Structure 1
């Protein structure tokens, strides 16, 4: 089956590899335009664009998926189906109508839970014990199309969004190719999503990574893991921002929210419930380091504390 793949970030690459290794004919990729990155704001191509360039595969980078020139080229390519993983832009009906079998999206949740841009982060924030991935046919309503297939994945106590997303991307690539196989064979039926249990995963912003030490230790632990590695969890000390790696809740509650207690090997911080032990810290302009090494350098005084609300 002729396919045109749409995707942008690294998380799309396992599916690209799986499709390229399958019997399906990958004739082009669609990805977001090159974007300014870093201090110099240099234009950088997406990981999907780089993957295609290395293999000599045609790459389409429309500003909007409804651009007439893009739609004309898509019709010329005549894909039977367009698999999608984290493309990052809305698809108008004019684009959805081009392939005979539509656009089949791999979404990293068990729909209808966590429709939207950041399903893995929101699953961790909410303390979900199980998440997964879903293949479905794209319709105009956000992540609401009929479902082809589902897989589930247990959320581990130490999962960050990065680690969990990597597992889902790998497992989901197999699900996506299997879905394409059955779509081609005509022996699969997309079933409407349940009207119950829909939840929405809005984009995680930088401020969502701000640790509020007045929250319970369990909530702080989930927030930090959900925001690792992106956009990063952070707190402030004397007005200066510090990034934080995952923490470990302890059995004690000896400290006030945000209060710092450091010894030779550990750094503990108070919360609304039990204290947490810090893992790594990254002060502004420096590399990440073990929290104990940071404490030996700054030597926090007795009673010193991170700002309780961030």
Structure 2
């Protein structure tokens, strides 16, 4: 027996799940994803990774601007679905949509709920210094990531993990959970475990100002801050070139010993004093330039000891 389902997702994280679901033999009646957007210097219209994969697989694609449109919900309901599988879709589904499939809507979330509900769980887990995270499939409710947990896998966060590397681990782990979850759903053997109301945290979107390095914080916290924001959007500081202040992203850094005024450059190889300890900047990217190691960065940018970074 196979399930008739819709898949709803947008980025490459979601495309990996779609590939596993399709390979398991389920009938994917429709894929929903965000509309194509104009991107890059040429502003060419680009389809989402999920959209591109769906076309390769020969699955019909819908790209509604809003799932609150009554016509969109009516069309969704007319698909006569057993279930909908949702992964990083980027739209909030109203209750009418959640209720349309016979078995409701299931969502893959990249944290161990109720910790890090919301939009940026991968980044927030690293930034907070968490040692573990995970991936869970939950039954969707109207609330933000509040539904009961159906399947869960724990993933360790290595001291060297960045947002990019952890994204890859969780993407693979999560994708492989879908065939198991859907098979159990067919057998009516999924146990729904309500979430605890203790330990709730929210993974709000990262703002540009929040990504800025605050040198008054301890160096180990800033090292986590850098890892959690690498490569995007990137932790950053401003460097005064004498002509202008330019934004510089820090893509790799490590906490070391050292002391000085917060933001003070302590040596000739980018050791920066923090509120506690010091942060060694290992890999950087100046605005409009490519990423480079500190040695190469210093060849083209003068950062003398005693300089105080903003």
Smaller-chain TM-score range?
over 0.9
Q: What root-mean-square deviation, in Å, do the aligned CA atoms of Structure 1 and Structure 2 show? A: 1.5
Q: TM-score, normalised by structure 2?
A: 0.93
Contact conserved, 1:281 with 1:288, CA < 8 A, in 2? yes
Extract unaligned runs of 5+ from structure 2: none
Match of 1:137 among 136, 139, 164: 139
Aligned residues: 304
Structure 2 counterpart SS, 1:246: strand
Name which of 273, 277, 286 aligns with 1:274. 277
Q: What does residue 98 of structure 1 align with? A: 100
Tell me if the contact between 1:237 and 1:305 (Cα under 8 Å) persists in the aligned partners: no
1:251-287 residue CA offsets vs partner (Å, 9 max, x unmatched): x214432122454xx4311111222211111112111
Counterpart in the other structure of 1:45:
47
Give the match for residue 247 of structure 1.
253
Q: Is 1:285 the counterpart of 2:281 in the alignment? A: no
Check if 1:295 corresponds to 2:298.
yes
- Indicate the SS of the match to 2:165: helix
Q: Which runs of 4+ in 1 moved over 6 A?
A: none
Instruction: Give the C-alpha shift of residue 231 in structure 1.
Output: 1.3
- Please identify, of 47-56 and 143-152, the stretch whose mean Cα deviation from structure 2 is larger: 47-56
Given the two structures, how large is their TM-score scaled by the length of structure 1? 0.93
Contact 1:281 1:290 in 2 (8 A): yes
Residue 78 of structure 2, aligned match among 60, 76, 79: 76
Shift of 1:134: 0.9
**Take 2:279 and 2:165, find their aligned partners in 1: how far apart are those partners?**
21
Secondary structure of the equivalent of 2:252? coil
Please list the CA deviations of residues 128-165 of structure 1 after superposition, one character each: whole Å capped at 9, or x if unmatched: 11110111111101100111011111111111112112
Identify the residue that residue 202 of structure 1 maps to in structure 2: 204
CA-to-partner distance for each residue in 1:38-57, whole Å, 9 max, x for gaps? 34444322111111122221
